[in-house]
Chains A and B, each alone.
Chain A
Amino acid sequence: QLQLQESGPGLVKPSETLSLTCTVSGGSITSSTYDWGWIRQPPGKGLEWIGSIQSSGSTDYRASLNSRITVIADTSKNQFSLKLTSVTAADTAVYYCARRGCSRCPFRYWGQGMLVIVSS
């Protein structure tokens, strides 16, 4: 059974870099044509896809974050990571990592989510 688990600091200061890691168990991040994504939910708001990395290594990012976001994979650890630079309070959210079968597929597997608060 595929499992995903987010980890990282739950509190980040404004202007600093938010770094989260998603550890995958029960499957390899290099397998097939999978797409590994990050979705966030600000408090009281809806879901927002922010970026994905495919098993090939190619990436897609939300354009409004394009200059601040990086998603990378560490195949040796079976993990993928999110880095979001120059954060503000607007980046406070529950961050989910998730997997889908392809870039046009639905997100079938999700981590439990992790709240990250941006505050001094």
Chain B
Amino acid sequence: DIVMTQSPDSLAVSLGERATVNCKSSQSVLSTSNNKNYLSWYQHKPGQPPKLLFYWASTRESGVPDRFSGSGSETDFTLTISSLQAEDVAVYYCQQNFGPPYSFGQGTKLEIK
């Protein structure tokens, strides 16, 4: 099974500052056949279902503000919020879509400092 590990577990950032969440997979999620990384990012707020932010590691879902960016390849991935807004307070999860079980990271709780 592919194990997804996020860091840090929690993060407090001032409004307008940069927030960075890291995600590491225990094995590569890069498909050599199409050069796609099967890695997604979700934003999860209390009382709501998770919201897809990125897929293929860096492809932004429609409607996601461009202050959010995704990067990385093979086993190391990063979600960056360039200028934190109050509405970005949430738990962020990475998930590998490479193969079952389609595991999630443990989550990173993002708060305002």
A-to-B contact residues, CB < 8 Å: 37, 46-49, 52, 60-63, 96, 98, 100, 103-108, 110-113
Interchain nearest-CB distance for A120 vs B (Å) = 27
Interface residues on B, range: 20 to 34
Contacts of A110 in B (CB 8 A): 49-50
Contacts of B55 in A (CB 8 A): 105-106
Count of inter-chain pairs, beta carbons less than 8 A:
58
Q: How far is the CA of A62 from the CA of B44 in the complex (A)?
A: 22
Contacts of A62 in B (CB 8 A): 100-101
Residue of A nearest to B49 (CB): A110
- Of B17-25, B76-84, B104-112, the segment with at least 4 beta carbons within 8 Å of chain A is B104-112
Contact, CB under 8 Å: B1 / A106: no
Contact, CB under 8 Å: A104 / B38: yes
Q: What are the nearest 6 A-B pairs in CB distance? A: A110-B49, A106-B40, A106-B55, A47-B104, A49-B102, A46-B107
